[in-house]
Amino acid sequence: MSIAYEHHAGQRRVRSAPVRLTRRGRVAVVVVALLVVGVCMIAFGPGSAATDESGEPVGTTVITVQPGQTLWSIAGEARPDGDVRDTVADIIKLNSLVKGEPLRMGERLAIPRYAD
């Protein structure tokens, strides 16, 4: 970066030249931007593991929380013949929820589906 000096009536002002990226610098900026986008896609993208084991989730369904719904009511609907406590734990883990924190109306939750 070069610095140019201007003289105005006895005053000295420093004016810097605009910053210019070299070809290597532009490539570095693009690579860093692509890495950031890739990491964000991995970190915030949808993800759930499905298994075939008996009693384990085999996929997910996304629901929108309606007024009056609780984790317990949602878990009971998702797996009526199973242990509601285990289903609640699966929903909490799948959605990274904080235990004891109430659901918000309109919140979208991934709900595990279980094999019959």
Domain that residue 37 falls in: 3-44
Query: Each residue of 65-103: pLDDT tens digit?
Result: 999 999 999 999 998 888 999 999 999 998 988 888 889
Query: Given CA atoms 31, 36, 41, 43 in this order, what sign does their dihedral have?
Result: positive
Q: Look at residue 15 and tell me if it is in a domain.
A: yes
> In angstroms, rounded to a whole number, what is the distance separating the alpha carbons of residues 86 and 50?
16
> In angstroms, rounded to a whole number, what is the distance separating the alpha carbons of residues 116 and 106?
29
Q: Look at residue 7 and tell me if it is in a domain.
A: yes
Structurally, the chain folds into a number of domains equal to: 2
Pair (61, 34) in one structural domain: no
Give the predicted TM-score (pTM) of the model. 0.51
